């Protein structure tokens, strides 16, 4: 089907829905690299005008990637909830934007509609929205998950404590963990990106985190971010695994480049559930995504990078994760060139995921060869806090010494919580008070060298 609109004396025609979506998206280097972006601001606006008139039902009839060729397309279509879609089925993409911004479209309404919204619908409407629209609509979405604590409550912000080390030195990792805990971070997850894929090293990391958790009765969950097959093997070997991690993408071909498919993720999900380690809930998966991964893997099928990213959230939604995280600026300036593009992408990813019912956090980050700096990250951090982000990263000094990129620190979480009045996960907050890390108001106490956590690490 050809989509068209006239601007002035020019009529713009778009060959199909995926071309229309790509041309309507905000400018970004990845779509330009792929040859998908609009050639001018006028063409981009013409595409937006045409997209606004597309009925939402059209996304159920015109697959961007053929049903027969892609298992993610099949997942999206086969799991679509027609009853949840019914209240908005008469809307166009432009009408959908207006509906999302109505005061009467509240959290309960959005939750009831989530399973009726496809990723392509979410991506489409995001292309018509200003940054403030993305913030306002996302703020109304409530996605609450549980394992050993409760994540995603309104007015709360959790932090992934990321104690990476370039040689997986257990003592160095433990020191970063204790540092983060004493700053009140870690209620989302303590998650280590290992430098090694040695099963013996990985087992040591899982055991160290679990021993610390049990010794001090900390209501948190841990994770080692290695390949899902290694985690399945470790579960079979008796490792104390809380959350199973995997990077995911929005096309079958890209996931194959990661060495995964939906069947493998189902096996991992079942293995994690079989351990029964959660005390409050059974959300046992942790996923990471990022715009540009499909293009990088040659698996985008001519679909723009933001729509490919939104399709990854259909994968996440299928497995009821505790956490999903867009590592927004990590892939590099080939895909998100500068601070402006990174900020926009972070807001898009958060909005689309929350709209689809996915618990979404963001690694507010950039690489050192991008046209971005920490001020850009402060801006995105603050905007995401206003939008109700589920969690952010907590890294010593905001500088990951293993992955070599810039992210957010324990102090950044303190800033965001103080500025916006956000709380930690309630169970974790109670533990901090019990350990005399925080005072009755929730503020951090001055910690002396004799504190129990410091004695535990001989620090």
The residue among 85, 93, 91 whose CA lies nearest residue 133 is: 93
- Give the pLDDT band (50/70/90) at residue 9: confident
Alpha helices in 237-338 (DSSP H): 252-257, 262-275, 293-296, 305-318
- Give the pLDDT band (50/70/90) at residue 77: very high
pLDDT at 457: 62
- Give the pLDDT band (50/70/90) at residue 453: confident
Whether the CB-CB separation of 408 and 365 falls below 8 Å is answered with yes
Q: With 70 as the cut, is the pLDDT of residue 459 above it?
A: no
Query: Mind listing the pLDDT tens digit for each residue in 335-351?
Result: 999 999 999 999 999 99
pLDDT at 380: 98
User: What residues contact residue 444 under an 8 Å CB cut-off, 6+ apart?
Assistant: 182, 183, 184, 414, 437, 438
- Give the pLDDT band (50/70/90) at residue 283: very high
pLDDT at 458: 62
Query: Mind listing the pLDDT tens digit for each residue in 84-139?
Result: 999 999 999 999 999 999 999 999 999 999 999 999 999 999 999 999 999 999 99
Query: Mind listing the pLDDT tens digit for each residue in 224-275?
Result: 999 999 999 999 999 999 999 999 999 999 999 999 999 999 999 999 999 9
Distance CA(384)–CA(328), nearest Å, equals 12
- Give the pLDDT band (50/70/90) at residue 434: very high
Q: Mean of the per-residue pLDDT values for the chain? A: 96
- Give the pLDDT band (50/70/90) at residue 455: confident
pLDDT at 450: 81
Q: Is 308 helix (H, G, I), strand (E, B) or coil?
A: helix
State pTM to two decimals: 0.97
């Amino acid at each position: 089907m050809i989509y068209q609109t006239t601007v002035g004396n020019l009529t713009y025609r778009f060959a199909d829905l995926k071309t229309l979506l790509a041309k309507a998206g905000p400018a970004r280097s990845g779509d330009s690299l792929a040859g998908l972006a609009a050639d001018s601001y006028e063409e981009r606006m013409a595409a937006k005008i045409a997209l606004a008139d597309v009925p939402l039902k059209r996304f159920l009839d015109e697959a961007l990637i053929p049903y027969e060729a892609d298992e993610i397309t099949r997942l999206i279509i086969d799991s679509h909830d027609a009853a949840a879609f019914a209240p908005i089925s008469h809307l166009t993409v432009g009408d959908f934007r207006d509906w999302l911004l109505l005061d009467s479209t509240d959290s309960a309404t959005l939750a009831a509609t989530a399973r009726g919204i496809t990723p392509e619908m979410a991506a489409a409407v995001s292309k018509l929205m200003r940054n403030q629209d993305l913030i306002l609509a996302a703020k109304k979405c409530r996605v609450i998950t549980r394992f050993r604590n409760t994540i995603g409550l309104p007015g709360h912000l959790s932090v992934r404590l990321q104690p990476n080390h370039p040689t997986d030195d257990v003592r160095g990792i433990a020191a970063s963990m204790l540092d983060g805990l004493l700053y009140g971070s870690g209620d989302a997850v303590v998650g280590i990106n290992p430098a090694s894929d040695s099963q013996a090293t990985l087992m040591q990391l899982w055991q160290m985190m679990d021993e610390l958790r049990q010794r001090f009765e900390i209501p948190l969950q841990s994770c080692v971010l290695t390949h899902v097959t290694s985690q399945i093997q470790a579960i079979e070997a008796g490792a104390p695994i809380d959350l199973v991690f995997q990077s995911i993408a929005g096309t079958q071909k890209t996931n194959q480049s990661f060495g995964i498919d939906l069947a493998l993720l189902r096996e991992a999900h079942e293995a994690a559930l079989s351990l029964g380690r959660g005390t409050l809930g059974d959300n046992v998966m942790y996923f990471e995504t990022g715009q540009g991964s499909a293009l990088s893997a040659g698996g985008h099928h001519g679909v723009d990078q933001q729509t490919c990213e939104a399709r990854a959230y259909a994968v996440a939604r299928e497995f009821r994760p505790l956490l999903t995280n867009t590592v927004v600026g990590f892939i590099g300036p080939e895909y998100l060139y500068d601070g402006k593009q990174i900020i926009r992408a972070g807001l898009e990813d958060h909005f689309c995921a929350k709209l689809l019912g996915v618990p979404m956090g963001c690694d507010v980050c950039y690489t050192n060869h991008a046209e971005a700096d920490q001020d850009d990250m402060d801006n995105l951090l603050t905007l995401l806090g206003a939008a109700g982000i589920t969690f952010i990263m907590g890294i010593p000094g905001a500088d990951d010494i293993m992955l070599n990129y810039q992210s957010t620190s324990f102090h950044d979480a303190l800033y965001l919580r103080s500025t916006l009045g956000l709380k930690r996960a309630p169970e974790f907050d109670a533990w901090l008070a019990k350990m005399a890390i925080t005072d009755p108001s929730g503020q951090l106490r001055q910690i002396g060298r004799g504190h129990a956590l410091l004695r535990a690490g001989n620090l």
